A and B are shown apart, each in its own frame.
Chain A
């Protein structure tokens, strides 16, 4: 057993040995900040991986548990003076754990469902249709509570309702504009297709305003990041390959996504997943080169039209999702968009790029820790006195709404693009009125 476990991690031996155990990661790790235990922070996790590599330990349930205690926020990697990519090594350790001991039973069920695109789509449509039966709506927008206990979900948690009709079913495959200056494929991702369809609509509206033809490839599927970070690399590759093939067929000028994690999957993780498969790697890289996060796309590529914007008189603060800030390093463009909206007052919060605690499935598995991390975010939001929190990730949005509800704070949380969409709408209404 030990020998086998050791073999599973052999390829990261050199990367692990670069860790000098200085513990600088302790300064930035959001989980460590709450738990103060060595096993919570990258140094402790890497020590444990090293012990397995040295044959001093093996991949046990304890190993799994420790490796699961990571939000993949990449703060340690950004901080590490030795350049150790701890977040990636922890995901590699999860992969080894999946090979050695198999997936966690709940994840196993969920991933089996996720793997079957049509069944997954059917289930989430049903969840949207029958949602009101199992979820109780709260007064605030996009917020519900579970009516009945459900496996793996904490009943205190404020969740978002599933959409009655998924985004991609609300639109034709091709959304035409009069004089298209380019044609883009919109990778919606699951949260936007099935939950936050408001974001997807805003993305489509804004692109239309800028004469961009939008295509919604119906066969697109989950980006695979949740599966990848859980350590099921083989399944993640299946998703990656499917999405690459799906988008290749169209020969788009560009591909846009409006979620930091999905964008990161296309731009960084797909080429990396196929590092030992030159043909697929090349194809993944071709797709990666065309892919942009929506705010990055509007600012850097489209140079979006600021002349048509109308006034939106609100005070907005920005939360940078981990995968935006450290995954694809897009933080200035969303701010540029917000600051270009007439009437909008932008205020920075303290530690805007610090993890909110969502961490994808992390907040499902470790809800209490996720709340503790979230409390700091909510306090920073409260200090700004902003009316609205803008962000670029559905999971962050849901988790921050949960926190705001807990603190009984009135702020709403929206995607950056929703504010831009609003501004275009106000501008259009004003022009109609004037004429």
Chain B
């Protein structure tokens, strides 16, 4: 990058907050996305909205690509450069500005870790429901950019249901405020919704107003194993059909269980074909009755082993098995390519069977886990991207799974595959992108350009 530009950026954020030099840049060449390492030209760490605004104005004038990044824990190619340019590191903007208990809202900066927000709001008996698998390294900015779903989406919905308002710096440096703490806070276009999930391609969030919920009185957890995937998915259908809405309903397949291995709670066999993790929260009597009903359903559907967790410690033990999935899988080979396969709940059983045959046909290892209660499955291909053969088998599997999900009335996405939007959808997306970011500097997303 030209020295005069580095000087200009340094003037905005302070020289110590502009990182250049190969070794510093190499530090930011990776995020938790396999095979996508790319070295940026500089790292810029702004401290506030005004600095973000000035950085973007300059980048826009000079047509420099900008890649917003938090802690770099994304598995979806976020936070890494696609083509040189600068990484806009938002870690310094990490203040919880306000927790408004009267309006059940918090105003926070994008670099706040979900775990830290959780801890703070819990002091007031509140919770922030979106709970990604990586809560100790995921930032709120990343969560909103990806409109992340979470373990608790079944009952509480995804991130978009908790974003009330945003302060966003647009590509040219203009500062836009959307929404607010009022429940109805929009007339006309709902820009908050548009920006949520925009993957850093329409603007950079500098403040986020999120909705909080009262923390549940009681939580109980069940973990049950099965000797077939079919039994597990039928169990899920029956639980939801009986009008029980657990706060989480997670699936583990056999490959996943074996990968977790020693991290599994005592008494559970990694040889089971499938396992379900079920969390029920709410008022004590409701939780007790729903737990009993669920246990009866698990038994009648042939669960091999059922563990019940009640204390914080027991519950954490079950959840830590869930949180260990992705890292454990990554130990099996050099990389894990994780995808979202979303199908109507009634079709999860078909999807699971078909994924197994796709894996066999392409000679790939595909572990499946995910929020089965929502019909969200995460097929995870464990492979070595450096091996040409394995790479092409992985690609074939992705394409086959994607086609399958569409046939079943669902959606599919992965960091590997191109956008499957139809022509009209693509037109609308491009029009929005180009009108807000005409120079295509913000997280220039290849799939929109390619569309």
| A contacts, CB < 8 Å to B | 17-18, 20-24, 26-27, 36-39, 43-44, 47-48, 51, 56-57, 60, 62-63, 66, 80-83
Return A122 CB to nearest CB of chain B, in Å. 41
A47-B29, A63-B23, A81-B324 known; A23 vs B71 contact (CB < 8 Å): yes
Contact check: which of A23, A51, A62 meets B137 at CB < 8 Å? A23
Q: Mark B324-344, 1 if CB is under 8 A from A, else 0.
A: 101110110011100000000
Among B2-10, B30-38, B365-373, B391-399, the stretch that binds chain A is: B30-38
On whether the beta carbons of B24 and A39 are closer than 8 Å, the reply is: yes
A47-B27, A51-B29, A62-B23 known; A20 vs B34 contact (CB < 8 Å): yes
On whether the beta carbons of B137 and A26 are closer than 8 Å, the reply is: yes
Return A44 CB to nearest CB of chain B, in Å. 4
A23-B72, A27-B137 known; A66 vs B23 contact (CB < 8 Å): yes
Among B32, B263, B324, B328, the one with the most A-chain Cβ atoms within 10 Å of its Cβ is B32
On whether the beta carbons of A18 and B331 are closer than 8 Å, the reply is: yes
Return A13 CB to nearest CB of chain B, in Å. 10
How long is the Cα–Cα vector from A428 to B96 in the complex, in angstroms? 58
Cβ-based interface call for B198 (8 A) = no
Contact check: which of A21, A48, A56 meets B32 at CB < 8 Å? A21
Find chain B residues with CB under 8 A from A22 CB. Answer: 32, 73, 134, 137, 326-327, 330
How long is the Cα–Cα vector from A18 to B328 in the complex, in angstroms? 10
On whether the beta carbons of B27 and A48 are closer than 8 Å, the reply is: yes
Excluding A27-B137, A82-B330, 14 further A-B contacts by CB distance (< 8 Å) are A18-B331, A20-B326, A20-B327, A21-B30, A21-B32, A22-B326, A24-B137, A38-B72, A48-B27, A56-B39, A60-B23, A63-B23, A81-B328, A82-B327
Cβ-based interface call for B11 (8 A) = no
Among A18, A21, A44, the one with the most B-chain Cβ atoms within 10 Å of its Cβ is A21
30 A-B pairs with CB atoms under 8 Å apart are A20-B34, A20-B327, A20-B335, A20-B336, A23-B72, A24-B134, A24-B137, A24-B327, A26-B137, A27-B115, A27-B136, A27-B137, A36-B91, A38-B27, A38-B28, A43-B30, A47-B27, A48-B23, A48-B26, A56-B26, A56-B39, A57-B23, A62-B21, A62-B23, A81-B324, A81-B326, A81-B327, A81-B328, A82-B328, A82-B330
Return A132 CB to nearest CB of chain B, in Å. 42
Cβ-based interface call for B22 (8 A) = yes
Find chain B residues with CB under 8 A from A82 CB. Answer: 327-328, 330-331
Return B301 CB to nearest CB of chain A, in Å. 31
How long is the Cα–Cα vector from A51 to B23 in the complex, in angstroms? 9
On whether the beta carbons of A47 and B137 are closer than 8 Å, the reply is: no
Find chain A residues with CB under 8 A from B72 CB. Answer: 21, 23, 38
Return B115 CB to nearest CB of chain A, in Å. 8
Return B31 CB to nearest CB of chain A, in Å. 6
Find chain A residues with CB under 8 A from B115 CB. Answer: 27
Return B145 CB to nearest CB of chain A, in Å. 17
How long is the Cα–Cα vector from A352 to B204 in the complex, in angstroms? 39
7 nearest CB pairs, A to B: A81-B327, A38-B27, A20-B330, A44-B27, A62-B23, A27-B136, A21-B30
Chain A: CB-nearest residue to B331:
A82
How long is the Cα–Cα vector from A37 to B16 in the complex, in angstroms? 11
The B62-99 residues at the A interface (CB cut-off 8 A) are 71-73, 91-92
How long is the Cα–Cα vector from A27 to B115 in the complex, in angstroms? 10
How long is the Cα–Cα vector from A80 to B327 in the complex, in angstroms? 8
On whether the beta carbons of B136 and A24 are closer than 8 Å, the reply is: yes
Return B376 CB to nearest CB of chain A, in Å. 20
A18-B330, A20-B336, A23-B32 known; A57 vs B26 contact (CB < 8 Å): yes
Chain B: CB-nearest residue to A36:
B91
On whether the beta carbons of B27 and A23 are closer than 8 Å, the reply is: no
Among B72, B263, B328, the one with the most A-chain Cβ atoms within 10 Å of its Cβ is B72
Return A84 CB to nearest CB of chain B, in Å. 9
How long is the Cα–Cα vector from A48 to B331 in the complex, in angstroms? 20
Chain A: CB-nearest residue to B115:
A27
Find chain A residues with CB under 8 A from B28 CB. Answer: 38
Find chain B residues with CB under 8 A from A23 CB. Answer: 32, 71-73, 137
Find chain A residues with CB under 8 A from B34 CB. Answer: 20
How long is the Cα–Cα vector from A26 to B135 in the complex, in angstroms? 12
Return A364 CB to nearest CB of chain B, in Å. 23
How long is the Cα–Cα vector from A56 to B137 in the complex, in angstroms? 27
The B17-65 residues at the A interface (CB cut-off 8 A) are 21-24, 26-32, 34, 39
A22-B134, A24-B137, A27-B136 known; A47 vs B334 contact (CB < 8 Å): no
On whether the beta carbons of B331 and A26 are closer than 8 Å, the reply is: no
Chain B: CB-nearest residue to A41:
B27
Among B23, B34, B134, B328, the one with the most A-chain Cβ atoms within 10 Å of its Cβ is B23
Find chain B residues with CB under 8 A from A44 CB. Answer: 27
Find chain A residues with CB under 8 A from B22 CB. Answer: 57, 62
Find chain A residues with CB under 8 A from B92 CB. Answer: 36
Return B203 CB to nearest CB of chain A, in Å. 24
How long is the Cα–Cα vector from A66 to B111 in the complex, in angstroms? 24
How long is the Cα–Cα vector from A264 to B326 in the complex, in angstroms? 32
Find chain B residues with CB under 8 A from A26 CB. Answer: 71, 137
How long is the Cα–Cα vector from A85 to B327 in the complex, in angstroms? 14
Chain B: CB-nearest residue to A37:
B27
The B243-293 residues at the A interface (CB cut-off 8 A) are 263
Chain B: CB-nearest residue to A45:
B27
How long is the Cα–Cα vector from A37 to B73 in the complex, in angstroms? 15
Find chain A residues with CB under 8 A from B71 CB. Answer: 23, 26
Chain B: CB-nearest residue to A40:
B27
Find chain A residues with CB under 8 A from B73 CB. Answer: 22-23
How long is the Cα–Cα vector from A36 to B71 in the complex, in angstroms? 10
